Amino acid sequence: MQDVLHPAGVQAEHILRLWHGTLALCALVVVLVAGAVLLALWRARRGRVHSAPDLAPLEGSENIDRPRRAIVRASGLSALGLAALLWADVQTSRALAQLPAEQALRIELTGRQWWWQAVYDDPLSGARFTTANELHLPVGRAAIITLRSDDVIHTLWVPNLHGKKDMLPGRVTEIRKMTGMPA
């Protein structure tokens, strides 16, 4: 069963940690913004149904130092949050790229218009064979998958193992995967 929340590979675990961190930061932002809105509503002046409108803020000068400081603080916190997400993304990208390539199973996966072609090349056994529409990965062993497309744009996504990777005609991309150890 394919489920992004149950990683079966080293890369998927890194991606899941990044997702959890992003979710936590976004949840914190939602709570802070909702709190600010509730505070503003609680502090707002309230009039009665038949009371005259309060035009005093329109006639006098406003003290804009306090709102300006709040905006500067909020902007600074937003910049820190974005910087933290950028740092986490860079660390995740580095972790995804650091898979050892020695003795890795090499698979050339070509997206055709109506099917997938997988060519396996095993350096350990010297075996080379081709399958259609199926991708089989060994457990506990690194695999380097070269992605190609000859005719249309494809997207490869194996949720338990890695993020999505687009395949464009004429461009070659690569995914390095390491599946988890057998249970």
| Chain segment 81-120, per-residue pLDDT in tens | 999 999 999 998 888 777 767 788 899 999 988 899 999 9
Length, in residues, of the chain: 183
- Are 150 and 169 in contact by the 8 Å Cβ rule? The answer is yes
Mean pLDDT of the chain: 84
On whether both 93 and 146 belong to a single domain, the answer is no
> Does the structure show a pLDDT above 80 at 148?
yes
Does residue 123 belong to any structural domain of this protein? yes
> Does the structure show a pLDDT above 80 at 157?
yes
> Does the structure show a pLDDT above 80 at 161?
no
Does residue 82 belong to any structural domain of this protein? yes
On whether both 86 and 109 belong to a single domain, the answer is no
Supply the range of the domain harboring residue 39: 10-97
Give the model's confidence band at 57: pLDDT under 50 very low, under 70 low, under 90 confident, else very high: low
CATH code for the domain of 160: 2.60.40.420
On whether both 88 and 32 belong to a single domain, the answer is yes
Alpha-carbon span 164 to 166, nearest angstrom: 7
For residue range 12-30, what is the model confidence (pLDDT) as tens digits? Answer: 888 889 999 999 999 999 9
> Does the structure show a pLDDT above 50 at 183?
no
DSSP 3-state of 116:
strand
Q: Where do we find the tokens 């972790």?
A: 95
Three-state DSSP string of 123-137: CCCCCEEEEECCCCC
Mean pLDDT for 32-48 is 85
On whether both 90 and 127 belong to a single domain, the answer is no
Residue 6 neighbours by CB under 8 Å, 6+ apart:
160
Backbone phi, psi, residue 153, to 5°: -80, 130
Closest by alpha carbon to 67, among 112, 97, 36, 108? 36
Domain C-terminal end among 54, 81, 97: 97
